[in-house]
Amino acid sequence: MEQTVPLVNVTEEIVRGTVRFLLNGPEYPMYCSCAKCEAKISAIALNHLQSHYVVTAEDRDRAFEYLRQQAQLAELNRQVIHAIHIIGQNTHKSE
């Protein structure tokens, strides 16, 4: 029986958390924060960021450490904010 090893994109974890944090914060009170809009924003940002896939907890820790460096965080935030503005231009509101 084949055993499945979990494959995790650490960039995706950070982007999803950042999107959720920003949409529920005071900076974007008029923007929709439904699951569909959150996913669209995450997808747009992730398409412009480098993936960091890992399979072990140790590799995940190293990837988080790398991605939390100033330059990487700045780029990640820039892409997320850009994606929020793209989706925020849509007229969709949470139903």
What's the distance, CA 24 to chain centroid? 14
Both tokens of residue 12? 């995706």
Each residue's pLDDT tens digit, 8-52: 999 999 999 999 999 999 988 888 888 999 999 999 999 999 999
pTM summary value: 0.87
pLDDT score recorded for residue 3: 65
Q: What are the Cα distances from residue 85, in Å, to 29, 57, 81, 94?
A: 13, 34, 6, 16
pLDDT score recorded for residue 37: 92
What's the mean pLDDT when you consider all of the chain?
90
**Number of Cβ atoms within 10 Å of the Cβ of 22:** 18
